[in-house]
Amino acid sequence: MKIISYNVNGIRAALRKGFAEWLKAASPDMLCLQEIKIDAEQFPYMIFESLGYHCYLFPASKAGYSGVAILSKKEANAIEKGCSKELYDQEGRILQAHFDSFTLMSVYFPSGSSGKERQAIKMQFLADFYEWIKPKTHQNLIICGDFNICHQAIDIHNPKANANSTGFLPEERAWLTKFLNLGFIDTFRYLNPEPHHYTWWNMRSNARAKNLGWRIDYQMISKPLLPALQKAFILSQAYHSDHCPTMVQMKL
């Protein structure tokens, strides 16, 4: 089973850049999307249904902002939207699809890049997400999404210069360690110890052409699923967003 996660930075913009054709060729069994930036009424269901996908959405209340989705060739047994906290749920940040043997999540963590207020919200989200996910660690979970955090120096092109940058702050990195210690596996890093693999680049500085990036997009699995993990990739040749997709192959 192939599962792809992709922050598309606007599904309509991605479609204009050939996203549907790329998806047809990649043909994952399941696809987690972040930053869809579209409401449920405007979502292009027909495009994805024609490719064989069931479409599950959790848009933000604010138009053209945030939002997550899960596309699956297998119909989900149940869908859960949000985490019962209005501040995050109105921004469409967590979506769960339950299947027979596992639960798939598409998550979009807040960014703190717009200022102190949003950074404070980000840190509160991290604390709340930790408490929300903690009782679920015994379950078969696949958590896909944009965490907006680089975990280690190997995950960012210039760790010294970015030591005080949101997304690489010591407290954010410590939180990610704490999260992993709950019993989660960073699938890509577990199978790929090499440096210079990133999932996001600053488009204003031509950083992608120079591969001066950040690895902030993850596919995490709970430890009970580790025997099912086969491969993990970063699909850096997909150019529909300032992010690129990640993919895991699992025997499920």
- The catalytic residue positions are 146
Mapped onto helix, strand or coil, the DSSP state of residue 49 is helix
Q: Please state, in angstroms and rounded to a whole number, the distance separating the CA atoms of residues 167 and 112.
A: 7
The kind and range of the H/E element at 186 are strand 184-186
Residues 238, 19: Cα–Cα separation, whole Å: 9
CA nearest 100: which of 76, 80, 81?
A: 76
Distance, CA of 15 to CA of 152 (rounded, Å)? 33
200 DSSP β-pair partners: 214, 243
Single-letter amino acid code for the residue at 142: I
36 phi and psi angles, rounded to 5 deg: -70, -30
Place of tokens 């027909």: 46
Q: Give the C-alpha separation, 28 to 247, whole Å.
A: 9
Cβ neighbors of 53 (< 8 A, separation 6 or more) are 31, 71, 72, 73
| CA-to-CA separations, 245 to 89, 119, 177, 217, in angstroms, rounded | 24, 25, 23, 8
- C-beta atoms surrounding 234 within 10 Å: 18
